[in-house]
Chain A
Amino acid sequence: MSGMVIIGGGMAAARACINLRASDYQGPITLISEEALLPYDRPPLSKASIMEEGEPQPIWLLEPDIVASLKVDSKLGVAVSKIDRAAKRVVLTDGSDVAYDKLLIATGAKPRSLGPHALTLRDHKDTLELRKRFVPDKNVVIVGGGFIGLELASSAAKRGCKVTVIEAQPRILMRGVPEAIAKIIHERHVAAGVEMLTGTAIETINAHSVKLKDGREIPADTIIAGIGASPEVWLAQEAGLTIENGIACNAQMQTSDPDIYAAGDCCSFVHEQMGGRRIRLEAWRSAQEQAATAVANMLGGSKAHVSVPWFWSDQYDLGLQITGMADMGPRTVTRIVSNDALILFHVAENGTLMGASGIGPGNSIARDIKLAEMMIAKQMKPAPDALADPNVQLKALLKG
């Protein structure tokens, strides 16, 4: 008997299982994950799991008793080798196959590699390996000043390592983070003793050093590649599905095959509210929301995915949160929330709020970013003066 089949072991896959049952779907659910573990939470892998005193345990998104109560048939440690669209079944590496009515691909993204000498972070066992290496006075060289690289730099510095971050671009976080905020994060790393080499190109990565184009050689006990991730699309590609910066979905999270959906880092989709353009998000909450949209439509709905993008990063005592699409708001309005917290609002030419980026200690800017997200969802055009004035409550603007 065929039913719902989900490929993946992350947030989107877990959320799909939960939502299918929460929507009163009674048929079979099969979850197929290449990892031997049930789906677990990945954001802690670069932060809390590295810092924990004892051996960190995965934070389960689906605990074994939940899997049992949801009646999910979980096939772990086995990969899908082929999607047979004509027969509507997936073939597994152990030779078995599973038929589907609807298939959800939630295979995530895989870190780009820099060869055999550079580690990457993707799963729990990668974290266990990095923990072993993050001991005081060891030289840790991180290639790439993006979120994973910087979060790992923060964790390694906190564990007493001598950390160097090498970024080829003129500054860190070029993709998606405004310069004013990237500067605050950069300075925080410098204050923690991290050597920040921006605008620096690499010549070669050796077993125990990184050689730079300018001739310098940085000694390294551990080298980590944090140069982004590529969507895991090969199964979909082999099956002939349309690929466009990930598995191409419409606004309903449906691929070019009406019986196959995708969610999370592996796919791009048309975001109707964000100018109807195709975007791919690598974000924890987006993965959940996309899975929820996909499930609603796998069960016969026709729901468009309209959630405003949102993500966070924690480094040292700083919390960064970004919502909306900063690049769709060319006008920047700055709100100085306090002497150590700041929010930038990204406003379109016509005055519509399109994005907001905030940074401050802990979760100090969280509530204002949430309010900004709600204003973006309502396509509001708040007065720039009011946005800039920390004495004007955003909640008052939202309620207008």
Chain B
Amino acid sequence: MTQWIEACGADDVNNEDVIRFDHAGRTFAIFRSPEDKYYATEGQCTHEKIHLCDGLVMDNIIECPKHNGRFDYKTGQAKGAPCIINLKTYPTKVEGGKVFINIA
């Protein structure tokens, strides 16, 4: 099953950065990698529900702004203390200068 929704403009996210996207009571994080590819994960850290959009993106890693937990945003894998639970990831596509994510 697919449910593609428009998350943001492709230019709304800087290269190697992240923004927050809220939809229907859920919150997501939309990433743009250094290679200009787009990724999406759930929006909050799995440790204490902090919004990841305030965190720092370096290469393929997002670091939580509160407790410095780390994730690979491309795979969702937890990469550093205190995080042990992986992030959910969502497929993305870019069409007509817009980023879409499949939240199904």
A362 to B53 Cα, complex, angstroms: 12
Q: By the criterion CB–CB under 8 Å, are B51 and A285 in contact?
A: no
Q: B50, B55, B67, B68 — which one has the most chain A CB atoms within 10 A of its CB?
A: B68
Query: Hey, what's the 0/1 contact readout for A30-52 against B, CB within 8 Å counting as 1?
Result: 00000000000000000000000
**Interface SS of B by simple majority:** loop
What residues of chain A lie closer than 8 Å to B55, measured between beta carbons?
363, 366-367, 370
What residues of chain B lie closer than 8 Å to A312, measured between beta carbons?
66
Q: By the criterion CB–CB under 8 Å, are B67 and A366 in contact?
A: no
Q: In the complex, which residues 41-79 of chain B have their Cβ closer than 8 Å to any Cβ of chain A?
A: 48, 50-51, 54-56, 63, 65-68
- Total number of B residues with any Cβ neighbor in A under 8 Å: 14
Q: A288-B81, A371-B56 are in contact. Are A363 and B63 (CB under 8 A)?
A: no
A251 to B51 Cα, complex, angstroms: 35
A284 to B66 Cα, complex, angstroms: 11
What residues of chain A lie closer than 8 Å to B65, measured between beta carbons?
363, 366-367, 370
Q: A363-B65, A366-B65 are in contact. Are A15 and B81 (CB under 8 A)?
A: yes
Asked if A364 is at the interface of the complex by the 8 Å CB criterion, the answer is yes
Q: In the complex, which residues 302-328 of chain A have their Cβ closer than 8 Å to any Cβ of chain B?
A: 310, 312
Point out the residue from A18, A61, A363 that lies within 8 Å of B54, measured CB to CB: A363
Q: By the criterion CB–CB under 8 Å, are A285 and B68 in contact?
A: yes
B54 to chain A, nearest CB (A): 4
Interface residues of B (CB under 8 A from A): 16, 48, 50-51, 54-56, 63, 65-68, 81-82
Interface residues of A (CB under 8 A from B): 15, 18, 59, 61, 284-285, 288, 310, 312, 362-364, 366-367, 370-371, 395
Complex A-B: 8 CB contacts under 8 Å = A59-B48, A363-B50, A364-B54, A366-B54, A367-B54, A370-B55, A370-B63, A371-B56
